Amino acid sequence: MASDVVITIINNVIVFSCPSCNKTGGFPLALIREMSGETISYPCGHCNAEAAFDSARIEGTVRLMKKDDPGLKGPFEVKFTEGSLIGGGSGSGGAGAADRDVIVVIDSDESFRTDIGTIFEGLARVEAYGGSKGAAEFIVSHAQGAILMIIDVYLGDGTFIDILGAIKANEKAAGISTILVHPTRKDRVIIEQMVLPFPQVKRIIHKDDLLKRLAEVADKFPGRGK
C-alpha cells in the first residue's frame, strides 16, 4: 500500500515530498489540482515509489498549516509562466550596458552558453560556467553586477537546486532574477514543484524557446537586426 505524500514547509512554501526518498518536486501539480475527492496513487518522479494522495487529508493539512501561519504560501499560489522574458528596463541597451549589466549562465552545454553570449553581444556581459560544482562561488563573484541568471535544471554534476541552495545565504546572489531552462518539455510539471522554495525563479522555459525569444528581443535593440 502506498504511503501518504508528505506535506511540509520549505522557505515559507507548503510543498509535497515523496515518503520514500523525501525529495520535493516529484509529483506534477496538475495531478493534485485535478483530484476529485478520492485517494489516488502516483509514482514519484525521482524514485518511482508510489505515494498516496488523499484530497481531504491534503486540504485539511494545508488549511491547518495556514491557520497556524497565515503567511505561508500554498503550492498553487506560486505561479510560473513562459511569458515575456525581458522588458525595456532602465540600463538595457544603453551606453555602457555591456560593461555594467551581467548575465550569468550556468549550463553544461557549451553551445548553449555560446549562443547566449552571441545574443547579448554588445547589450550585456555574459559570464558563463559549465557545471554545478563551483557554480555558487562563481555566481557570488559576479552578483554585484548581475541582472539575470539563466540556469539549466539538470547539470552533469548536479541540479539547479544544488546551486540555488548554496547561494541562499548570500542576499545579493539569492536576489538575482532567474530563468530555469529545461531540455525536455515533459519535465516542466516536475520542475514547477522543485522551484517552489526559490522565489527568485521567475520563468521556466524550454531551451529552444528561450533562445528564440531572446534572439527576437535582441534584434529590436538599436544597431541590431534590421
Question: How does the average pLDDT of the chain come out, rounded?
Answer: 82
Query: Cβ atoms within 10 A of the Cβ of 22, count?
Result: 13
Complete DSSP assignment for the chain = -PEEPEEEEETTEEEEE-TTT--BS-S-HHHHHT--SS-EEEE-TTT--EEEE-HHHHHHHHHHHHHH-TT-B-TTT---B--------TTTTSTTHHHH-EEEEE-S-HHHHHHHHHHTTTTSEEEEE-SSTTHHHHHHHHTTTEEEEEEESEETTEEHHHHHHHTTT-HHHHTS-EEEEES-GGGHHHHHHHTTT-TTEEEEEEHHHHHHHHHHHHTTSTTS--
Per-residue pLDDT at 82 exceeds 80: no
Q: What is the pLDDT of residues 12-21, one digit of tens each?
A: 778 888 899 8
Percentage above 90 pLDDT, the chain: 38
What residue ranges do the domains of the chain occupy?
A: 3-68, 97-218
pLDDT band at 37 (very low <50, low <70, confident <90, very high): low
Query: Cβ atoms within 10 A of the Cβ of 198, count?
Result: 21
* CATH number, span 97-218: 3.40.50.2300
141 vs 80 pLDDT, higher one = 141
Query: Cβ atoms within 10 A of the Cβ of 123, count?
Result: 21
Most confident of 35-39, 62-66, 119-123, 124-128: 124-128
Which of 5-14, 56-65, 104-113, 152-161 is predicted least confidently? 5-14
Task: Write down the pLDDT at residue 76.
Answer: 64
Q: What is the pTM of this model?
A: 0.65
Per-residue pLDDT at 207 exceeds 80: yes
pLDDT band at 80 (very low <50, low <70, confident <90, very high): low
Per-residue pLDDT at 201 exceeds 70: yes
Per-residue pLDDT at 149 exceeds 70: yes
Q: What is the mean pLDDT of residues 74-88?
A: 54
